[in-house]
Amino acid sequence: MGPLHGVPITVKDQFNIKGLNSTLAYVAKAFAPAENDAPLIETLKKLGVIIIAKTNLPQSIMWCETDNPLWGLTTHPEDPNLTPGGSSGGEAAMLSMGASIIGWGTGIGGSIRIPCHMNGLWGLEPSSGRLSYRGVEVTLDGQQHILSAVGPMARSLSSLKLVAKLAIEAEPWAIDPQLPPVPWRDDIFQIMSTRPLVVGAMLDDGMVKIHPPIERAFRDLITKLEAAGHEVVEWDTSLNSSIIDINEQDGYYSADGGEDIRSSVSAGGEPFIPQIQAFVNRGTPISVFEYWQLNKRKIAIQEAYHDMWDNKRSPTGRPVDVLLVPTMPHTAVPRGSCRWTGYTKIFNLLDYTALTFPAGKASKGGDDGGFWEHIPRNKIDA
């Protein structure tokens, strides 16, 4: 028996399980069962888990909600008029309902963090290459500019820590050449868990203003951190717009002009869902040289962000240990209205490990009676 003997878990559609389909919600990929388990699935089975289901995702995975012509719509467990987020929305819904103990998702722009945020869950989206992606299907396969990451989702920090630790202690780099041989470093975990931290607080990404319930929870959390003896310093957001420009305005995610998704949808003769149709239509193919220039800009921003963090000091002269950032500018929203993912995409481009955790719940009437004055700062914020 393994340490997770008998624990029921679910995994996102993308993970190859022998004899089951990994569709990415494309009709053309249905009825093509995997011939082998993904290495992570092999590890989980050795640990003793019982995989009870594969879960839904949006067509192509490239959306922050969960809907597709193949499997249909996934709604929020607490209110069917709301979205559970995406792209790991099926996982979040299962966990939120108590249907499984642990979920495994993937994220290329916040696809673990966003649904965990909308469902009050814990979600770990590590840096790419921390956990094995071998045997996990992905849209835009072959691109290397922003890599998708595998991570666990759970209802508690203890569950999340346990499964992450066990997955890393299985030494996945022995079967996946893309992973560096970095063991679970319990000494660092213990040090960070037992001393006061310096927390950089980024209340706003500078592009889209957060809603009052998010601001209330964020400020409450800062108050509690300071009361517990941690230092909180304001974080510089001046580099955010450059990161978002590469992601959004310059089409980093659609450098192929949308061809990967377009060909996958066309192969099955299925309709586009509107949001993916819009994503593909926005795509403009660029030359290899232009692509190289985007990569150079990405590396320059990564270096600038690293230097900014490295030079930041608290009033007592200590370096910043961790950033505190809203996952989304809002709570769970009505179906079809999830738009802004800048708060999460920043850290995918930087390739930083990120954790989403529950910090409160919005009241039905809103934190100020349900209405507040909003003056858009730009067309995205409108």
| Number of neighbouring beta carbons within 10 Å of residue 25 | 30
Say yes or no to pLDDT of 249 above 70. Answer: no
CA distances from 273 to 27, 49, 144, 214, 342 (A): 13, 34, 26, 29, 22
- Residues 6+ positions from 95 with CB-CB distance below 8 Å: 10, 102, 103, 119, 121, 153, 154, 155
- Residues 6+ positions from 177 with CB-CB distance below 8 Å: none
- Asked if the peptide bond before residue 242 counts as cis, ω within 30 degrees of 0, the response is no
Cα–Cα nearest to 253, from 109, 381, 65, 149 = 109
Measured distance CA(157)–CA(123) in Å, rounded: 9
Q: Where are the beta strands (DSSP E) in 76-235?
A: 102-107, 122-125, 149-154, 198-201, 231-234
Measured distance CA(313)–CA(320) in Å, rounded: 6
Active-site annotation, residues: 12, 87, 111
Instruction: Please tell me the predicted confidence (pLDDT) of residue 248.
Output: 77
| 231: Cα within 13 Å, side-chain hemisphere | 15
Q: What tokens does 70 get?
A: 């193949």
CA distances from 115 to 146, 175, 269, 289 (A): 20, 30, 29, 36
N-terminal to C-terminal alpha carbon distance within the chain? 55
Instruction: Summarize the confidence of residues 108-126 as an average pLDDT.
Output: 98
What SS3 state is found at 123?
A: strand
Out of 13-22, 90-99, 101-110, 183-192, pick the least confident: 183-192
Indicate the residue type of 358: P
Regarding pTM above 0.85, the answer is yes
Please give the CATH topology (third level) of the domain spanning 8-183+196-356.
Amidase signature (AS) enzymes (3.90.1300)
The residues spanned by each domain of the chain are 8-183+196-356
pLDDT in tens, 281-323: 999 999 999 999 999 999 999 999 999 999 999 999 999 999 9
Share of the chain above pLDDT 90, in %: 91
Supply φ then ψ for residue 231, to 5 degrees: -90, 135
For 67-104, b/e burial (b = at least 16 CB within 10 A) is: bbebbebbbbbeeeebbbbbbbbbbbbbbbeeebbbbb
Element containing residue 300 per DSSP (H, E)? helix 288-311
pLDDT in tens, 314-349: 999 999 999 999 999 999 999 999 999 999 999 999
| Number of neighbouring beta carbons within 10 Å of residue 43 | 22
pLDDT in tens, 50-98: 999 999 999 999 999 999 999 999 999 999 999 999 999 999 999 999 9
